[in-house]
């Protein structure tokens, strides 16, 4: 706490205790990146498309009615955050959720903030 803040604050001395409950900056950055990666309607649609299992990228293109480059961009972001993974079979890539519980957790989260 700065000297200026000490003059304007109570004498409770809880600062160290409060800071112990905050994850370190690296962990906060990771959490923030995950939220950013799913904070897009198209990426959320991709997650819901993959809810019932693996899909070929061509099926994702068709379902979203978006260009190949747009869908690829969104898939890349989700892959980077390890939310989905892909496997190549011939000339196609098949995507699936790394952990299907993510959709349940998102539903729980949205109920908490209602």
| H-type alpha helices, the chain | 3-8, 15-20, 25-38, 41-49, 57-64, 68-80, 101-112
Q: How far apart are CA 36 and CA 77, in angstroms?
A: 9
pLDDT (tens digit, 9 = 90+) per residue, 12-32?
A: 666 777 788 888 999 999 999
pLDDT at 72 over 60: yes
The answer to whether 63 touches 48, Cβ cutoff 8 Å, is: no
Q: Which residue has the higher pLDDT, 74 or 113?
A: 74
Distance CA 111, CA 105 (A): 10
- Predicted confidence at residue 108, as pLDDT, reads 87
Mean residue pLDDT of the chain comes to: 88
> pLDDT tens, 19-66?
888 889 999 999 999 999 999 999 999 999 999 999 999 999 999 989
What is the predicted pLDDT for the residue at 112?
Answer: 83
Yes or no: say if 77 and 84 are a contact pair by the CB < 8 Å rule: no
| Domain extent listing, the chain | 12-112
- Place 86 in a pLDDT band, splitting at 50, 70 and 90: very high
Whether the predicted model's global pTM rises above the 0.85 cut: no
- pLDDT for position 82: 95
Fold of 12-112: Arc Repressor Mutant, subunit A (1.10.10)
């Amino acid at each position: 706490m700065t000297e200026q803040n000490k003059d304007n604050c109570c004498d409770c001395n809880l600062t160290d205790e409060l800071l112990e409950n905050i994850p370190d900056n690296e962990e906060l950055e990771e959490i923030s990146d995950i939220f950013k990666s799913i904070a897009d309607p198209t990426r959320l649609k991709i997650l819901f498309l993959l809810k019932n299992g693996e899909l070929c990228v061509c099926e994702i293109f068709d379902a979203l009615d978006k260009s190949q480059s747009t869908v690829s961009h969104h898939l890349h972001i989700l892959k980077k955050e390890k939310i989905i993974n892909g496997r190549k079979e011939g000339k196609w890539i098949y995507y699936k959720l790394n952990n299907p519980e993510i959709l349940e957790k998102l539903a729980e989260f949205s109920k908490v903030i209602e």
